[in-house]
Amino acid sequence: MVVPRPELHWYEKLYLPSILGGLSITGRYFFKTLFSLLSFDRQKRVTQYYPEEKWTLPEGYRGAPVLVKDEEGREKCVSCQLCEFVCPPKAIRIVPGEIAANSPHAQIEKAPQSFEIDMLRCIYCGMCQEVCPEEAIWLQQGYLFNGYTRKEMVHTKEKLYEMGGQMQRPIKKWKNK
C-alpha cells in the first residue's frame, strides 16, 4: 500500500513560517527570563541556585533503593531474592550466603553474601520495596548520587547499607518469642 504525500505550497517549501514561529517562542522565553532576573523577585526567577536551594520533593517520591538494618544494626535481608526476580530491568544481583557460624542465629536465617544494584539500569519503579517480606530494601528520599565510571554506579552491599542506615519498622525477625 502506497500512501501519497500531500503536495506542499510554495510558502511551505520555504520553511520560513516554521522558523519564524520557533524564533518567536524562543524570543518570548528569552525576554521573560531576562525580565524575571532583573526584577530581583525570587518567586519569579527561573534559575535555582542549587547547593543553597534544594528541590522540595513531592510526597511519594521514589529515589534510589537502599538496604536498611534493624534497630540493633543487624541485616534485615534474608536473601530470598524476590527483589531480584521482580526487578523489570534486572538491575539487582544477589548471591545468597550463610550467617556466620558463631552467631546465635546461624542455621536459622540466611544473609546475602553479595548484593549489588546497578543504578544505571534501575528505573526506580519501587517493585523491590513492595515485594520485600522483611522490609529490608527501601527507596530513599535523596536524589544525589553520581559516579565517573560505570563501575562506580554499581552499588555494593556495603554502600547500600551505608546509604540506608538503620530503620525502625514493625517487622522484627530477630525478636525472641
- 32-45 pLDDT per residue, tens: 878 776 766 666 66
What is the helix (H) or strand (E) element at residue 25, kind and residue range? helix 16-38
Q: What is the pLDDT of residue 167?
A: 76
The answer, as to whether pTM is greater than 0.85, is no
- SS3 category, 20: helix
Query: For 55-103, what is each residue's pLDDT tens digit?
Result: 888 888 888 999 998 888 888 898 999 999 999 999 999 999 888 778 7
Cell 519498622 appears where?
169
**CA proximity to 83, closest of 116, 44, 43:** 116
Question: For the chain, which domains are there?
Answer: 11-54 (no CATH), 65-164 (3.30.70.3270)
**CA proximity to 86, closest of 129, 46, 47:** 129
**CA proximity to 139, closest of 85, 59, 74, 40:** 59
Rg (alpha carbons) of the chain, rounded to whole number: 26
What does the CA dihedral 40, 44, 47, 53 come to, rounded to 10 degrees? 90
**CA proximity to 129, closest of 66, 60, 61:** 66
Query: For 94-129, what is each residue's pLDDT tens digit?
Result: 999 888 778 777 777 788 999 999 999 999 999 999
